[in-house]
Amino acid sequence: MAWNAACANNGGGLVLVPAIGRFLVLPLLLQGPCNGFIQLQIDGDLLASPDKAFVSGYYWLQIHQVNNLAIHGLGRLVGRGQTAWPYNTCSTDASCTRLPINLIFQSVNIARIRNIKSFHSKSFHFALNGCNDVLFDNVTVIAPSDSPNTDGIHISMSTGITIQNSLIATGDDCISLGPGSHTVNITNVHCGPGHGISIGSLGRYPNESDVSGITVRDTKFYGTMNGVRIKTWSSSYQSVLSNVAFLNLEMHNVNNPIVIDQNYCPHNACQQTKVSESRVQIKDVKYEDIRGSSSIQAAVTFNCSQVAPCQGIVLQNINLTFNGTGSSTSICQNVRGSSFGPQLPPCCF
């Protein structure tokens, strides 16, 4: 009722969640369009239901068709994911039922999300689809390292997204970018634990939109499964990923600091072969000033497609040591590019 009143008010309005309070909220759609700039100030805690009846569903909270939005405050979104994770079967079943996303932005334009904390989501913490000009600043995401599918921020079919000055410690990708992600800037993020920052997986469905203009800079990874990863399905439909830059990154005991995997095929969802038939073209990807340590010897892996080899891959000033016996190494398949400056491990193309 408060949202509807603020949204309908000429000139906009503000919805306040008081600081002294913990509020149980059942799945909720906050619908626009609104008649002006609208603010959601969350100073208290919003609690998802622990009831099994709310284990499945697309979202817990959704904001739909809203322009000129601000979300801020000192409060928390508490997803109570520990009541739902035992029902997650996605590690073995590609057609599994997805659990609710803590907060999804659908068709939202010009939004600023600041200082919000998201805890223990049942699935993704934040997701954006069909959005434009959205800023996440000083956002905190927390979930156990073994919590399934709890991506920090997932982006798809969206343009002009900025994520900065944030801490993301979760059980899946800190940030994941799906089809149709354009002009995304990620700066000064603490990532870990989790699976790193991933572009993809791409190419699973026909007519996927291309991905371009992705920049990740000044970011640190701690004990993550991957650092910066690009992944496409091993048997995929055609699309293009281009104009990507990974700049000034620190890796601290990261399993795969730099990886392109065009043989991605979890849960036996496609026929495994020794030859990648991915038709996603990856081109113009730059890795510059990336340093730190790898927990496996192959610190750099480019496993590109035989039918659409990676093109325009650039390595500049790479210094990744192996936390073990021997020196770090690199692996290259079907990749074309160039290298400049010091290279540890030695460049393999």
β-strand partners of 293:
321
Q: Which one of 45, 151, 154, 172 is the catalytic residue?
A: 172
- Asked whether 236 and 266 are in contact (CB, 8 A), the reply is no
The three-state secondary structure class of 106 is strand
Neighbour count for residue 86 (Cβ, 10 Å): 9
CA gyration radius, the chain: 20
Mark 89-116 as b/e (b = at least 16 C-beta within 10 Å): ebeeeeebeebbbbbbbbbbbbbbbebb
261 catalytic residue (yes or no): no
Please report where in the chains the tokens 């603020």 appear, as a residue: 6
Q: Is 172 a catalytic residue?
A: yes
CB atoms within 10 A of CB 150: 31
Q: What are the C-alpha distances in Å from 155 to residues 120, 181, 201, 333?
A: 19, 6, 12, 28
The residue from 45, 154, 195, 261 that is catalytic is 195
CA distance 348 to 331: 6
Cα–Cα distance measured from residue 40 to residue 112, given in angstroms and rounded to the nearest whole number: 10
For the annotated catalytic residues, the residue numbers are 172, 195
